[in-house]
Amino acid sequence: MPRKGSLLRELPILVVVALAVSLVIKSFLVQFFYIPSGSMENTLQINDRVAVNKVPFISKSINRGDVVVFRDPDNWLPEPYSADGNKYIAKIKEGFVAVGVLPNPAKQYLVKRVIGVAGDKVECCAKSKKLMINGIEIDEPYIFAGNTPSDTKFNVTVPEGKIWVMGDHRGASADSRFHQDDINQGMVPTSKVTGRVIGIIWPLKNFGLVGSYSSLK
């Protein structure tokens, strides 16, 4: 049985090792994010916490139908602000950011579904009111009930190194459609992609995997 003094000496080492492991996981494997809006309903709900796969080659393996988290491509979001006046709470949050429990507020993130990848021609809409990819109508069972695939017409071709993204709640998502006048013409550079959402971890009632879906094979 280890002595109390031995445990006390080993405790700082254990804490450092735990933090190091957490940082490695955050940097290369999994990071956790909070969903602040309804733009991905009903796939993701407001206040859901999701786990994101950060495998280093993610930017080379993004597929249609993936739900991805990415850094703001070109001022899609307003400037962040902090309402925390308590310095102790602020320090605790900084610690959570450091170990990957909370995302860095200085780096704004969004979550959307990949609709088009490099080389795809994405168009709205066919006579059936469905989106078309490379001239083929697609089914999108994940769209929020009562929404149309898009109320905004567009016809784009996705360049190399970019993706075209849209929220599942089409009527409440300021996605690629609404940023076609920015530097990326509404596209998201794959270099901005943090990873693919693999599951909801909180609240427990929403716990489960988040799969990819593409009707275009």
Q: Reduced to 3 states, what is the DSSP secondary structure of residue 162?
A: strand
Q: Tell me which amino acid residue 196 is.
A: R
10 Å CB burial of residue 164 (0-12, 13-18, 19+) is: buried
Exactly one of 26, 39, 150, 192 is catalytic; which is it?
39
**What is the sign of the dihedral through the CA atoms of 94, 99, 104 and 109?**
negative
Are 180 and 154 in contact, with CB atoms under 8 Å apart? yes
**Is 54 in the active site?**
no
Question: DSSP characters for 56-120?
Answer: GGGGGS--TT-EEEEE-SSS-SPPP------HHHHHHHHHHHHHTSS--TTS-EEEEEEEE-TT-
**Is 26 in the active site?**
no
Are 184 and 73 in contact, with CB atoms under 8 Å apart? yes
DSSP state of 154: E
Kindly state the helix (H) or strand (E) to which residue 48 belongs, with its residue range: none
Exactly one of 54, 112, 162, 192 is catalytic; which is it?
112
Are 171 and 48 in contact, with CB atoms under 8 Å apart? no
CA 48 to chain centre: 12
Q: Which residues are catalytic?
A: 39, 112
